[in-house]
Structure 1
């Protein structure tokens, strides 16, 4: 099994992100416009309130009110375009592209990696891991860095408006960050346990479906039900714990926001009473306070989501570390003779074929007769390299079959087995 260190994950993510970087300028442009409109809104509120309270200028109040309305409308439109672009170019595009890449990789795997034991693992990659990777790895990283930049800009504006009040805001943010970080680690840990429990449940579900005919013959249905129920309960408990911790993390955010806003507002009223700030400045601070907690919350959420989906990322990328069939080689133009020389084959450590030596010439009609499970299907699967011998050599026309290209080899040697799947490729049209 491949070991995934922090540097491995970081390098792999950078490698996969290159496929989507051409969309980043669109995101950065829209995010910059969104940041600008967000920064302008409290400043326009300040100007409007101060114009009304201190200068009594109706013209200024009307002007800043109109500008405030235009900025809000622009902000809504920019946010819509940003969400649409992210969904179209990043979430949906990455899901489709990565699913296609995983499927292409699976087609190159040796047959020994495509048995019923790991079918559920591959299905889990398509159904669970890839969607989480798209939203949790690609998008969460962008969300974190964007909100980090947004936080620095807003914090700088707060210090420009009033240093004392900004320091109070910063202190409350530090406390908020510490408490949220502790819960973040709990969210990540419970997410990993939820993922592990889901994998076990999926594995047992597959075994239950595949093993039902056997257990029905031996009155094993009660065992079968308990076998699946215990796994389902384990996953349910892990999922409930993860949801509870996640909800607790969200409630902690709301509580910190309420406490921090109360402290800042109380201190702001004190500064207003002393004449150190204006009413507009206090209201602008209040608007920025709501945003700055949202910014920190979204940045931490992005970071938490990223680390929570690292197990999904590892499952997703692990498939690309598996070996693949060597497809290149010379073309097999015409079949003349197939030879087996001291061929052995074993599944894991269980011998199936031992010391086979025989020849098949073009035009021969051969019947291979043996009891069920003796290795008939295994033997013929060696002829076109669906499986490879553990020991020995197979030659076609005197050439080892490993030297032929897979395409030409499988074009000349076709296996039709009794349990092969018939694909429903007919497009049915309903007439009314």
Structure 2
């Protein structure tokens, strides 16, 4: 019998209960920090590389131009993050399955052109035109799912063909004019350019993630204790919630010193939260991770693999269509340039830089949020310094390469840790 067991056997039950409470309290914050360190050592880096990258980027650009961290400049950065970030959220879905969609830029451009044509040229009500653009995204995703599931066409080839076909359809819809101007005073354009949350509402919403963390954490702790499994204490849970709330409220306060928090960025964050819940708390999300980790094992476990692939492609194209409509509202125009350029690069790079694995089986909705902030932070800083876009492409490519290298090393570390 160990000394600890002997002490427990000689301790009255009441005193033992109080001792356990003290141990759990002491282990709360320490246990949280220790668990985080253990995860990093095992190769599960999570969002750590992104957080460190953002700190370095902010420090460098602020030293070169103090305007970089000005509240209003950050507000503009958040506006720019929302459109491509929503497209990247769809990319996370297909990357989790180890697949790719190279046509998200063209899908967003087609949705932008279709929306502008139906709303402005054809005179459709705004809501119907928006629904039609989103339906187009669903149809495109369904076509990719059909080509993949029924014909066995690799997603790389199918979406590359789609990139060209959708771009041609976009040009056909816009015609010789090449662009369609959207009404500046319309609610959608105002949403994409100037609408901000009331200060009280932004602060109130900033508290919700901390409350949600506590509620979910308490539920997990209760279930693990009912199953006689080890569970963290309330002190560690409250510590995480307090840190999260303090960070969010600090950011909201600083943004409110300027124009405030954009509604469009709020929509993006809301979609991220919804998709994170779907990925982590639903049967569909667990099936996504299982199929991405091992397709054959998931099939033998009774998962409808074809349906999972279809849902991923449809979600990806739908988010791309929504991002295209919001990009049109941001620019107050549907043009031939919509969805072209670096939209594909940024959408895919954001998901990978944020921590979603290119090899499938691992990803998070927050990858799109953090990854696009990194990309736009670089682009914004270089714009303030009046540097050429060529440098932005090179830096973004280097950051993407580093992210893939980190992911590969992390996978190798987890594999070796598992064998040990």
Q: For the superposition of Structure 1 and Structure 2, which TM-score range results when normalised by the shorter chain?
A: under 0.3
Q: Which has the higher contact order (CA 8 A, sep 6+)?
A: 2
Normalised to the residue count of structure 2, the TM-score between the two structures is 0.24
Bigger Rg over Cα: 1
Give 1 or 2: higher strand fraction: 1
Give 1 or 2: higher helix fraction: 2
Normalised to the residue count of structure 1, the TM-score between the two structures is 0.23
